[in-house]
Amino acid sequence: MTHTSSSSPDVVVAGGGVIGVSVAYHLAEAGLAVTLLEASRIGGLATSASSGGILVSTKTRPSSIEAATRAQRRLAELDRELHGALEYDPCGCLVIATSEAELGILQGRVSAHRLLGVAVALIGQDEVRHGWPIVGPSVVGAAHYPNDGQLDAIALVKALASRAAAFGAVYHEDSPVIGINVRKGRIDGVVTLHGTLRTGVVVDAAGIAAADVARMVGVSLDVRAQRGQVLALRSPKALSPGRITEIRSIIGKDSGETIDRQVSYAYRPARAEVWLGGANEIAEIADSTTDGISAIRSRAAEVLPGLAHLEQARAWAGLRPFSPGGPIVGWVGGPTGFLVATAHGGDGIALALDTGEQITRLIHADRPRAQWGLGGQNA
C-alpha cells in the first residue's frame, strides 16, 4: 500500500501498526496533512499476531475501561457500515479463576468494574460447568462480561488505513524513519531512505522499535518486547459461547511478570479455528517456540479439557510493545513537536481508536495550531 506523496506534511507518523494507522486516520479526519511511514508492511507486526479481543474484562485502569467500552460501541458501528468486514462479534468473555486466591482477586476486580458501570456477572462453579462445558473442574469460579467482543485486527487496520487515505493521508511501506532533524529545539524534518520530509510534528508509533525512534531525538523510552504465542486448532464450530481468559493472565498483563502457565480461548468462525493464546515473557524474537506451544497445550488440558480432541492447525507468535507503566501516549519531553503513541501491551487493538483521538486532541485541538506551524488541509 503506497499512496501519493507530500514533501511537507503537518504530521509524520512513524509506524503503521494499528496505533499509527488510527493516529493517521484521526489526524487526517481532523483536517491535518499526514504522512505515515512504515518500515515494512502496514499492520505486519504485533497487530497481525493479535487475537483481536475488544475486552473490558482485561482492563484495570479506569481510562482504559472507558476507552475499551467506547471502542466496543464504535467498532460494532463501523463493522455495520462496512457490512461485516471487521467480523466484529460481541461474543462476551468469561474470566476464570483456578484457586481461592485467584477468585478473591477476581471478585475484587468485579466490584471495581461494577462501580465504573461495567456489565459483569459472577458465576459459580456449577453454572460455569453448565454454560461452558469445555471448562474443567479446576475452575473454581468466574466472571462473565457479556459486552466484550472481538474482531479481525488485520481487517481493522485495512479499514482505518483506507479511511485515512480517503481523508488525504499519505502512507509509504518499506519506508523506515532513519533520522529526525531538530532545529532550535523543534522538530524540523524526518529522514527516510528516499529523502527528507519537512514537518513540525512527529508521532512515534513504532511499536517495539519506539525507543529507537525516540533515541533519534535524544529521548529515552522504556519499551520492551513482550512475546505472546497462539496455537490454532481446527474446529468446525465454537466450543464455548464466547471468549475465555484466565485471571492470572490479566495479573501478568498488568504487572509484566511472566506467567508460565496460562491459556485463553477464542473462536474464529471465518477460519473454523479455535485460537489458544498464552505466554507473556520478555523476548526479542517473534517466533513461536516449542516450549511456549507445549505450555499452552498443557495448561489447556488442565483448565479447558473439552478441547483435548482438537488437532493443531498452526501456531504463531508476536511481540507486544510493553512498558511497566502502561501505554505511553502524548508528550514525553524532547524537542517541541515530538509525541509518542506506544506500549499498549496486550490492549493495543482495543485502545487504538482512543489513542488516535487523544493524539489528535493534543496536536489539533488543545494546542494553538501556530505553535506547531500547522497549516492543515482545512486550515
Task: Answer yes or no: are the C-beta atoms of 187 and 201 closer than 8 Å.
Answer: yes
Cell numbers for 216, please give them. Answer: 533519534
Pattern 129-168, ligand FAD, x by CB under 6 A:
----------------------------------------
Least CB distance to ligand FAD at residue 129 (A) = 25
Burial label for 80, CB within 10 Å (0-12, 13-18, 19+), is exposed
Q: Which is nearer to ligand FAD, 130 or 222 (CB)?
A: 222
How many residues interact with ligand FAD (rule CB under 6 A)?
Answer: 41
Q: Which is nearer to ligand FAD, 12 or 374 (CB)?
A: 12
Q: Which of 11, 28, 33, 37 binds ligand FAD (CB under 6 A)?
A: 37
Please tell me whether residue 86 binds ligand FAD under the rule CB under 6 A: no
Least CB distance to ligand FAD at residue 364 (A) = 20
Q: Which of 135, 180, 350, 374 binds ligand FAD (CB under 6 A)?
A: 350
Q: Which of 72, 342, 358, 360 binds ligand FAD (CB under 6 A)?
A: 342
Task: Answer yes or no: are the C-beta atoms of 222 and 34 closer than 8 Å.
Answer: no
Residues 170-199 that bind ligand FAD (CB under 6 A): 176-177
Please report how the helices 348-360 and 153-166 are oriented relative to each other, as an axis angle in degrees rounded to 10. 20
Least CB distance to ligand FAD at residue 194 (A) = 13
Can you tell me the distance from the alpha carbon of 20 to that of 213, in angstroms, rounded to the nearest whole number?
13
Q: Which stretch binds ligand FAD (CB under 6 A): 37-45, 108-116, 125-133, 164-172?
A: 37-45
Please tell me whether residue 17 binds ligand FAD under the rule CB under 6 A: yes
Cell numbers for 147, please give them. Answer: 459486552
Task: Answer yes or no: are the C-beta atoms of 157 and 17 closer than 8 Å.
Answer: yes
Of the candidates 325, 318, 319, 327, the one whose C-alpha atom is nearest the C-alpha of residue 347 is: 327
Adjacency order of strands within the sheet including 224-234: 121-124, 141-145, 93-97, 243-246, 264-268, 273-278, 224-234, 312-322
Binding site for ligand FAD (CB under 6 A): 14-20, 37-40, 44-47, 49-53, 176-177, 205-207, 209, 213, 228, 230, 277, 318, 320-321, 342, 344-350
